[in-house]
A and B are shown apart, each in its own frame.
Chain A
Amino acid sequence: ETGVTQSPTHLIKTRGQQVTLRCSSQSGHNTVSWYQQALGQGPQFIFQYYREEENGRGNFPPRFSGLQFPNYSSELNVNALELDDSALYLCASTPKNSYEQYFGPGTRLTVT
């Protein structure tokens, strides 16, 4: 069984640019969540998608947006990048009728 995968692994962007990060859920999982993990901190919840709709959002501005596709894969888009957006972005999927989340390896975003 394939786990959660994310692409790209690393990314360097310039302040003001836009970025798209991608995530493929684990087979049989229908909920996808995105987290931001700054260096030395715990992950912070960005938002969650269920049945292709946003199903909860953390304390992040609207320039953070997402999509979930019919195959349960997902994208995280960040517009107008700021230096503080530099972090590890983690995607997690949840099995149907369950609560535990399974994480991908993350995308390391550096904004210069």
Chain B
Amino acid sequence: AQSVTQLDSQVPVFEEAPVELRCNYSSSVSVYLFWYVQYPNQGLQLLLKYLSGSTLVKGINGFEAEFNKSQTSFHLRKPSVHISDTAEYFCASGAEGRRALTFGSGTRLQVQP
């Protein structure tokens, strides 16, 4: 069985500061990892994905994430955040042979001026 743990429920940060949102996963099979962003009253938008290959993946809006197999982590980073990055961020995993995604509980990023 798969599980995804997002270690922080809320992350407050000042505008233009760097941010890291933490995600750990557990899976007994090859795993695919994703980060999604959800703005208020909207669906989920795919930020970035790790399917295979380079462990550092770059996504939209200046976000990137690093797949670390030994630590079973997939932390999301951005070097300089904007007010518009305020949203809920979800880490999700999928597995070979099963296309359903398992989501974490979400991290609310609050960017303050």
Contacts and interface: CB of A to CB of B under 8 A. Distances in A.
Given A45-B102, A58-B100, A103 B90 contact: no
B87 interface: no
A44 B105 CA distance: 10
Interface stretch (B13-21, B43-51, B60-68, B70-78): B43-51
A100 B45 CA distance: 11
Interface in B53-110: 90, 92, 94, 98-106
A22 to B, nearest CB: 14
Contact of B90 (A43, A48, A108): A43
Contacts of A108: 41
Nearest to B9: A40
B104 A48 contact: no
Contacts of B51: 99-100
Q: Provide the main secondary structure of the chain A interface.
A: strand
Contacts of A42: 4, 90, 92, 103-106
Contact of A43 (B44, B46, B98, B99): B44
Interface string B10-51: 000000000000000000000010101000011111100101
A56 B99 contact: yes
Contacts of A45: 100-102
A102 B92 CA distance: 13
27 contacts: A6-B43, A31-B99, A33-B99, A35-B101, A35-B103, A41-B106, A42-B92, A42-B104, A42-B106, A43-B44, A43-B101, A48-B99, A48-B100, A50-B99, A56-B100, A90-B43, A92-B44, A92-B101, A99-B32, A100-B32, A100-B46, A100-B49, A102-B46, A103-B36, A104-B43, A105-B43, A106-B43
